[in-house]
Structure 1
Amino acid sequence: MRKKFSIFILLIVILSMILSACSNSTQQSGDKKGKQKSKGRYIEHDIEMPKLEKDETVVKIVENKEHQLELYTYIAKETTKYNCYLLKEDDSWEKTSLDWLNNSKTSEMIMVDICLGQDGSYYACLQNISGEQKANIIKKTNEGTGQFLDMACLNESTNVGEYNTYKIPSKINVLKNGNFIFNMKESAQDSSLVIFNQKGEKIDEVVTINPNSFSVSGNCVYLINQDKKVVSYNTETKNNDQILDFDGVIDSLQLFTKDNGNVIGVGPDGIHCYSKDLSLWEKVVEGSSNSLGMPSMDVKGTVVKDGEQDVYYVAFSEVALLGIQDGIQKIKKYVYDKDASSIPEKEITVFSMEENKTIRQAIAIYQTKNTDVKINYVVANSKEGGVDSDYIRTLNTELFTGNGADILILDGLPIDSYIEKGVLTDLSDIINPLIDSGKLLSNLNDSFTKDGKKYQFPARISIPVVAGNDEIVNTNVNLQKIVDYINKNNNAPIMKKISSEALLKGYMPLNIDTILKDGSLDEKALKNFLENLKTLNDNISKDNLCPVDEDDTDLYAVENSRRFASMGNPYTMLYTKVNSVEGMMSLNGLKQKQNMTYSSLNESFIPSAMVGMNNSSKEAETAKDFIKFLFSDEIQKLNMNDGFPVLESSLKQWFQEESKMMSFGTWDDDDNLINGEMPNEEEKVKFLTLIKKCKKSVVKNEALYKLIIDSARSYLDGEKNIDQTVADISQKVTVYLTE
C-alpha cells in the first residue's frame, strides 16, 4: 500500500511539471510546519482606473494587435462621445483617438459592445437612443474611418403596440472568414448564439447555457454547451472539434482565447488555463482569496500579457450599495510572485448548509487583507443529491468528537443541541461590546442570549410581513383569528394556493414556542395548531386561478408580492419578506393598486448568516478575527440581496442611499400595469422603525421541523386523521429530543 501511495505522489509531481506549459510557476517543496516552505503564487493588484468624466460609462476591455489592453467608454450628453484608453507598461493610462466612431452619424447612439475580430479589424455595436432604437455594426476600415454595415438581421422588427422593437446583440465577435457571431438573446429562456454572414443573413445557431460566455479563435467558437462542457465548435464543419473537460465551477465561467490556441476560463473559483497541446486545464490563480471569488464582482473581460509568467488583467462590474451598476468599475491585475508563500500559514474552515453570498463575499475580502490566511468554505448542499439530515449527521459526528469546521453558519442546524453539548464558543467578547456601544441592533440581543452568553449571532435579517386589508393585517398571523375571518367571509379563498409543505414551513417557526415547551411536546397545542392550519389549507385549496407549484416551499418568498400584484386576483392576504430597501417597491405597488396595507408578523425577524464558532477550533484567534470582520461596516454595508445589515450605521446608510432602481413594472393576464416605486422618506423611516421593533427570532431547526412536517403534510392533504398524526409526531419528536 505504501509503495502504491509513493507511485501516486510521483505521478502528481510529474503532472505538475507538465502543467507548467500554461504557467511556468516554480515552487520550492517543503512542509508547512518545516523550515523550507512552498513558494510562488499569483497575487492580486489594483489597477487604478483612468480619470473619467462624470457619467462616462466603461463598456469593454480589448486586447489590441500589440497585445496591449484598451479600455472603451462612451459619455452620452447632448451628443455621444466615444473614448479609448491605452494601458501603458507602468499601468498608467493614455487617452487615444477614436475618430472612426466619433462622427455625426453615431452622436445619438451608445456603445453596446466592441471587439477586435479574428479578421484583424475592429467592430463596434452601437444602439440608437432616439427614433427607432435598433443596433448598428460599424467596422473600422484600413483608412481609419467607420463603415456602417447593412445587416438584415438588425433591421428586422417586431410590432408591439405602437412601437417596433429590434434585436440588440449584447455581445459580438467576428470570425476569420468574416462571419459574425452574436448573442441575440431575447428572453431568459433563449440561450443561443447566432452566426450571420456579412450581409446579416443567418447561417447557423449554436445552443449554450451562457450566451455571454463565448470566445473565438480562427473560425471556431469556444462555448459551454447544454451538457455543461466547454467545447470548440467549428463553424465551417458545424461540428465540435474538441471537448475540453472542465472540473471547476462552470455555470458562471467566462471564456477567452489566446493567439497560441490556449483557452482561458475565468470564474469565481479562479483563472484556469487550457493547454491546447497537452489537452489539460490548470488552475493558475486561486479565486476564493481575491475579487474573483466575490459574489459582488461580475467578470466582464480578460486580457493576458504573455511572459515567463503570464500576467492576467480582469475587468469587473461591481454590485453597488443598492443594486447593480452598469459597466466596468474595477480592473485587477494578477501577477506571479515567486517569493509569496503558496500555502498561507493559517487555515480555517467555514461550514454552511446553503450557499450564503454575504459569507462568501466576506471570506474573499478577508483573505485579500490577510494574505497569510486561507479560508475554506464548505457548502453542504452544493453537492447534488444530498439530504440535509445526512449532512447534519456527518457534521455532528465530527463536532461531537472535537473536530469539524472552525466556524459554523448555523442556519438550519440544531443550535440548541450544539449549545447543550458544548460545541459552540461563547462569542460575548465580540458581540457584547458592539451591542453596548450601540453599533449592533439592540432589539436582536435577547433572542441570542442564553444563560448570559452568546453562542450565535446573525449577520443578516429579513422581515416577514403580512399584507392585506386592515382586518387581515390585524390578525397578525394568529391562526385562530384567520380561521374566524375565513368563516366570517363564507370560506372564500383568502390567498394564493400554495403547497401544504409551504404552509407548514411558514407557520411552524412562528408557533413552535407554543407547541414545544420546556423541552417537551404539548400535544394539545399541536392538535389545535394543525386543525387551524388545515382549515386555512382547505380554504386556499379552492383557488383555481393558478396551479400549486410543489417546488415553491417558501411561504415568505420575496417574489410573492410581485406575483400577487400581477395576477389581478380577489385575494385578501399575502405573506412575503423584505430583505432590502428595494424590496419595499412591490409592497408599495400593492398599497397603491390593491389598496392593501402591511405589517410585520408578531414583530419577528428571520435571521440568516447565523455565525457560531467551534469550541475545538485549532485556529481560535483567526476564527474570532474573521467573525469580528463579518460585523464590520465594510461587510455590513454591502447589499448582497440576502437580508438587511445588523450594524446600526450600515442599516441607516441603506435607507439614506439613493437607488438607481426607481421602480418596477409588470403586467397581469388582462394587460393591467402593476408597478411600484421606491419608498419615499416617510415610508423609509416607517420601515426602519419597524425593523428596530422586531424582537422575536424565527429560527429554523430544519431537522426538527422536517420530522413534524413529514407527518403533518399527510393530515393537511386529507390522508390521515388528526389523532394518528399527533401520535406519530409525538413519537418522532420524543426520540429526536432524547438523542
Structure 2
Amino acid sequence: MRKIKRWKQGIAVAGVIALTGSLLAGCGGADGKNSGSKGETGSINQAGNADTADLVNVNTDNSDGKKTKDESAKAMGRFLENDLTVPENSQFLRDVKVLDSGALRMVYYSTADNCYYAADSADNGETWTNGKSLEELLGLKENLGEYISVVSAAADGSIFVGADLSPDRDNENAQTTADSGEEDSAYDNLKMEFFYLSPDGNVQKVDTGDTIQSSYTFQACFTENGTVLIVDPGNGVAEINPSDGSLVRRYEEGIRVDFIGTAGKMLFTIQDQTLHGYDLDTGKPLDNISALTEQIQSDEQDVNWTTTSSFPLMFLKGDEDNSLFYIDHTGVYRYVLGGSTVEQIIDGSLNSLSSPDTGTVAWGQDSDGNFYVGCNAGEDIKIYSYVYSKDTPTTPDTELTVYSLKDNDFIKQAAVLFQKKYPDVYVNIETGMSGDDSVTDTDALKVLNTEIMAGTGPDVLLLDGISEDTYIEKGMLEDLSGVLKDTDILSNIKDAYTKEDGSIYTMPVKFGIPMIEGNKDIIAGITDLTTEADAAESQKDSYGKLQFFSDFSIAPSYLIQGTIDNSIPAWMNEDGTLNENAVKEYLEQVNRIWQTQKNAIEETKKAYQMGDDWADSDHSGYMDISGSVTSLLAKVDTVAAGGLLSPEGLVSLDSARKVDPDLDYKLLNGQSENCFYPRSAVGVSAKASEKEAAEKFVKFLFEEESQRASNTEGLAVNSKVYEDMAYWKMGKSSGDTIGSIGASYDTGDGNIKQIEMDEIIPEDEAIQNIMDLGKTLTVPAKSNQIIRNAVTESGEKYLNGETGLDDAVKEIMQEVNLYLSE
C-alpha cells in the first residue's frame, strides 16, 4: 500500500530532518491538545507580583467534570494572556529565552530564505531586532536551514546548534525506516556536527569525539551551569562542555530517552512514559519528587511523544531554589521538592494553552514574574506573555456550557479567543462522546435531551450530528434572528437557515463544498449520485489490485458515509419523516458503485494479506478531498471526492491539476443538488441558564477574528473573510509554493511508485471560481447521526449481500421512525 509524507518548503527538503527533529527547540514544550485540569490546586507566593491569597483554587473539577463554584470564585487575581508580535516571515519557532539583560530572544525558521534566525526584543515582545542568520554567524553554507536539527539559546546569549552536514542525505529512506520503528538504523548515514556561539560572539565547532554515539539527535539544551545536554538516541543523555566538547556526565546510559527538560539545577527525563529527575550538580537522582512524578505520569499527554514540532511538557526554574514550574496543555504549575501537592497557578482552560492547535516549544520568566511562552500554532508562530492582574477575578464569574456530540477542535480554538476577549466568562466545553468509552450516539443524545428538558442542560449546542429539525419542532432552541441580525454571514448560508417568519434557530459557523476531481471526460458526466454510479461502472474494467474508483469506496461503510450527507435532504418529508422510496433509490445507487470494485478490494486484500477489518476504522463523516489527491495522481483512484474544507484544500485540488492537466474538479451532487456541508452548526438552548453569555458567544463565532481561526475546520461563512483573496491565499501570492506532498505506493511487483506534488497557491481566477461556486449553494447537507448510523448498519448488510434491499430499507425506516417518535 502507500506511505505518505508531508512537508513544508525548506523545512524538509531532507525529509528525516523535518519529520523527526528539525522543528524541535530548547528543552521543553507541550503538544496542543484538549483542555483539562490537574490534581490539586493551592496557594503560592509567586515571585514578582502575585499575592498568596490571590491564587487559591484556580481550577478544581468535580465528579461530573464541571468547574466547581465556591467562595474562591470571588477571589481576585489571575494571569492574563497577551499576544506578542513575531518577526516577519517567521514560520517555525525553535526557542524563546529571557536573557540575563532582561531582553527576549527567539530563534526561528524564516520562509524568506529557508534559514534560521535569532532576534531580540528589549520591549517585552512589542518589537524585534532584525534577525541574525545562524548560518551566517556559524559560517555554514547558505540555505542549510533545513538541515539544522537542534538549536538552543542560553540566558547569557550563547547559542548551541546541531546540524546534518553530511554530503549524502538519503533522508527519505531514513524516514521510511524510522516510520517502521527501526530508528537507529534510519540515521546511520547521517553525520551530526555541533557549533557553539559564545556570549562574546566567538564561533567554534564542537568536537564531541565518540561521546555522542548516535549519528542523529533530536533535542539539546543549555543548563544553568553553562553545559549542554544532548539526547543520544538509545544511549541516554550526554552532558558536555560546549567550549571543548568534553563529557561532563552521562545520564541513563544505554536507555532510549524521549524528552529532556531542565529547571535550574534539575534535569528531568521521560522514557517509557515515566518521569525521572536528577541533580545537575551531583548527577544523582532526585528522591523527593513523588507527588510531581505521580501527577505528570497520570496525564498520558504529558508522557507520550506525539509530535516533532513541540514537546509534551516543559520545566522552568522556580521562584525558590527548591521549587520549579512546569507547563502542559492544562496550564502552569508550581512544585516544591518534597511537597505533597502540585499547585496550578495558570489555568490552561482560560487561555491558548488548551487550544488544539497550540504546541508549546519554549518558555521563560522575567524578573517581574511574567511568563513568556513560545508556540508553534499550525502554520503560525505565537508568543504569549502571561502577566498577573490583581483586578481580574481568579475564576470567571460566569460559566458558559457548550455541548458538542463529538470532539470539535474549532470550538475549542474559538473558546480560547472568546475568553481572551471576555475574561469574565469561562467556557466549559462538554462532549457527549469521548471515544474512550462505550457511549453511543443514541445514549449521548438521550442524556442530552433529558438534561435540556430538566433545565440542567448546556447553554450552547453544536448541532453537528444532532437532529436540529426535531429540536426546533419541540421548542428546544432559542430564536437567534436578533443575535445574528447584524452579522456579516453569506446570504445563501443565512437564507438556508432562516424560516418563513424570519426566525433562525441554528446557523453553521463554517461550511464545506462537496467536490470531485478526476479526468475531465469522466467527471463531466457526473451530475448526481446516479451518474456517479454510471461513471464507476464505465471504468470497472480498469479496477484491480490497488486500482479503485475512489478512496471513499474501498469499503461499504466508507462508501455510505462518503455519499450520504448530500443525499439525505432528498429523503426528508415535510413532516420530518423519511421518504422510503428515496432511501431505497440511494441504496441501489451506492450498491452499483460497490459492486463495480468489490473484486478489486478482495484482490488487494489478498495481495497484501489484509484482514476483513482493514477499512473498518471510524469514518463517521465525509472525507476531506485534499487527502485523496496523491492517490488520484498515482492512478490508484479514478476520482477523488469529498469536502473542500479549507483554502489549503483548494491548493491541493488546483496543484494536482497543474501536475496532470487532464484533471479537473467540480461540484459533486448526491441525490440532492447544490448542497453545502454545514460545519459547527450552533444553537442556543431555550432553557439556557446563561442566555446573555450564550448569545454573546454565538455572535462572536461569526465575527472576523473567530472566522479566520482554524482554517482546516471549514470555510468561513463571514462574507468579509470568505471574499478576501488573502484568506484563500493564506497570506501568500499566486504561484507561491507553500509546501510539498509526497507519497509512496507499493505496486505489488517489487516496485515503488513515488508521487510528489508541490503545493502552489492558485491563480485569482481559480480562487474566484470556487468563491462564486460556494455562494450558489443553498441546500444544507444533513448530518443527523441517528439516520447515518441506521443507514450505515443496514446498508452495509445489503451491500455485502447479507440482506435484501427491501429488508434493509425496512430496518432503516423502523429505527429512524422509532427515534423520531421519542
- Give the TM-score of the pair, scaled to structure 1: 0.80
Choose which of 339, 344, 353 in structure 2 pairs with 1:283. 344
Deviations 1:666-721 (A, max 9, x none): 14434444314321122111111111122221120002221232222112122222
Matched, 1:431 2:465: no
Counterpart of 1:188 in structure 2 is: none
Within the candidate set 571, 582, 588, 1:515 is matched to: 571
Q: Deviations over 1:258-310 (max 9, x none)?
A: 26354433234321223322143222111222333344544232213477xx4
Whether the aligned pair in 1 keeps the contact of 2:584 and 2:805 (CA below 8 Å) is: yes
CA shift in 2, pair 1:555/1:350, >3 Å: closer
- Secondary structure (helix, strand or coil) at the match of 1:138 reads strand
2:561 to 488, 491, 505: 505
Q: 1:487/1:92 Cα in 2 relative to 1: closer, same or farther (>3 Å)?
A: closer
Q: Is the 1:117–1:176 contact (alpha carbons within 8 Å) kept by the matching residues of 2?
A: no
Residue 172 of structure 2 corresponds to: none
Counterpart secondary structure, 2:772: helix
Q: 1:613 to 1:661 in 2, by over 3 A?
A: farther
Residue pairs, 1:255-334, within 5 angstroms: 255-258=314-317, 260-305=321-366, 310-319=369-378, 324-325=379-380, 328-334=381-387
Q: Say if 1:143 and 1:277 are closer, same or farther in 2 by CA, change over 3 A.
A: same
Letter in 2 for 1:39: A
Do 2:257 and 2:269's aligned partners in 1 also have CA atoms closer than 8 Å? Answer: no
Name which of 706, 712, 723 aligns with 2:789: 706
What is the 5 A alignment of 1:191-206?
195-196=237-238, 198=240, 203-206=253-256
The one-letter amino acid paired with 2:504 is K
Deviates more, 1:695-704 or 1:295-304: 295-304
One-letter code aligned to 1:599: K
Separation in 2, partners of 1:468, 1:271 = 50
Q: Deviations for 1:371-393, whole angstroms, at most 9, x for unmatched residues?
A: 22222122333462133222211
Higher share of residues assigned strand: 1
Matched, 1:598 2:665: yes
**Residue in structure 2 matched with residue 619 of structure 1 by the alignment:** 690
Instruction: Say yes or no: does 1:662 pair with 2:738.
Output: yes
**Partners of 1:692 and 1:520 in 2: CA distance:** 29
* Residue 618 (structure 1) shift: 2.5
Distance change in 2, residues 1:358/1:100 (3 Å): closer
Tell me the secondary structure at the aligned position of residue 449 of structure 1: coil
Q: Which residue of 1 aligns with 2:53?
A: 26
Distance in 1 (alpha carbons) for counterparts of 2:211 and 2:402: 50
How far, CA to CA, are the matches of 2:659 and 2:121 in structure 1?
A: 52
Contact 1:468 1:597 in 2 (8 A): yes
Tell me whether 1:139 sits opposite 2:196 in the alignment: yes
Secondary structure in 2 matching 1:423: coil
Equivalent AA in structure 2 for residue 674 of structure 1: E
- Indicate how the Cα distance of structure 1 residues 513 and 95 shifts in structure 2: closer, same or farther if over 3 A, else same: closer
Gaps spanning 5+ residues in structure 2: where? 1-39, 58-67, 170-190, 305-310, 544-548, 746-751
> Residue 349 of structure 1 contacts residue 378 of structure 1 at CA under 8 Å; is this kept in 2?
yes
**In 2: Cα distance, 1:226 partner to 1:85 partner:** 37
SS of the residue 1:564 aligns to? helix
Q: 2:589 aligns with which of 520, 529, 532?
A: 532
Gaps of 5+ in 1: 1-14, 158-165, 185-191
CA distance in 2, matches of 1:86, 1:515: 61
Deviates more, 1:62-71 or 1:534-543: 62-71
Counterpart CA distance in 2 for 1:101 and 1:469 is: 46
Pick from 493, 508, 518 the counterpart of residue 468 of structure 1.
518
Change (3 A) 1:132 1:473: closer
Give, in whole Å, the separation in 1 of the partners of 2:663 and 2:133. Answer: 56
Would you say 1:674 and 2:756 are equivalent positions? yes
C-alpha contact 2:43 2:52 (8 A) present in aligned 1: no
Paired position in structure 1 for 2:34 = none
- Paired letter, 1:315: G
- 8 A Cα contact 1:715 1:722, kept in partner: yes
Q: Secondary structure at the match of 1:583?
A: helix
Q: 1:632 deviation in Å? A: 0.9
In the alignment, which residue of structure 2 is the partner of 1:609?
680
SS at match of 1:535: helix
In structure 2, the partner of 1:187 is: none
Residues 554 and 615 in structure 2, CA contact (< 8 A), matched pair in contact too:
yes
Equivalent of residue 38 in structure 1, options 66, 74, 86? 74
RMSD value over aligned CA atoms? 4.4
Note closer, same or farther for the CA distance 1:168–1:711 as it changes in structure 2 (3 Å cut).
same
Summarize the Cα distance change of 1:651–1:81 in structure 2 as closer, same or farther, 3 Å threshold. Answer: closer
Give, in angstroms, the shift of residue 640 of structure 1: 3.3
Counterpart CA distance in 1 for 2:634 and 2:618 is 17
> In the alignment, is residue 550 of structure 1 matched against residue 616 of structure 2?
yes
Name the CA distance, whole Å, in 2 between partners of 1:19 and 1:272. 10
Map of 2:6 onto structure 1? none
Partner residue, 2:410:
358
1:583–1:701 Cα change, 3 Å: same
Partner of 2:459: 406
The yes-or-no answer on 1:495 pairing with 2:495 is no
**Contact residue 708 and residue 729 of structure 1 kept, 8 A:** yes
2:446 aligns with: 393
Structure 2 residue aligned with 1:541, among 569, 575, 598?
A: 598
Separation (CA, whole Å) in 2 of partners of 1:450 and 1:100? 60
Contact 2:568 2:781 in 1 (8 A): no
Quickly say closer, same or farther: Cα 1:152–1:516, change in 2 above 3 A.
farther
Aligned twin of 1:730: 813
1: distance between equivalents of 2:113 and 2:445?
61
**TM-superposed deviation, 1:582:** 1.7
Match of 2:120 among 63, 73, 85: 85
CA distance in 1, matches of 2:802, 2:211: 58
Question: C-alpha separation between the residues in 2 aligned to 1:377 and 1:701?
Answer: 21
* Bigger shift: residues 646-655 or 147-156: 147-156
Could you tell me how far 1:470 is from its partner in structure 2? 3.8
2:139 pairs with 98, 105, 115, which one?
Answer: 105
Q: Which moved more, 1:298-307 or 1:458-467?
A: 298-307
Q: Which has the higher contact order (CA 8 A, sep 6+)?
A: 2
Find the partner of 2:161 among 115, 125, 129: 125
Q: Is the 8 A contact 2:263 2:325 kept in 1?
A: no
Matches for 1:169-188 after TM superposition, within 5 Å: 169=218, 171-173=220-222, 180-182=229-231
User: Which has the higher mean CA deviation after the structures are superposed, 360-369 or 59-68?
Assistant: 59-68
Alignment CA distance shift 1:230-1:457 (3 Å):
farther
Q: Deviations over 1:532-565 (max 9, x none)?
A: 2222112222224576422152452345323413
> Cα 1:168–1:423, aligned 2, differ >3 Å: closer, same or farther?
same
**Structure 1 residues 578 and 142 mapped into 2: Cα distance closer, same or farther (>3 Å)?**
closer
Once residues 534 and 338 of structure 1 are traced to their aligned partners in structure 2, the CA distance between those partners, rounded to angstroms, is 65
Distance 1:575 1:45, change over 3 A: closer
Distance 1:613 1:193 in 2: 56
Q: Structure 1 stretch 500-509 or stretch 256-265: which is displaced more?
A: 256-265
Q: Mark the CA change 1:383 to 1:311 in structure 2 (over 3 Å): closer, same or farther.
A: farther
Corresponding residue of 1:232? 277
Check conservation: 1:180, 1:196, Cα contact below 8 A: yes
Q: Percent of counterpart pairs with the same letter?
A: 21
Letter in 2 for 1:287: G
1:189 counterpart residue number: none
Read off the aligned partner of 2:815 and give its amino acid letter.
K
Does the aligned pair in 2 maintain the 1:175–1:181 contact within 8 Å? no
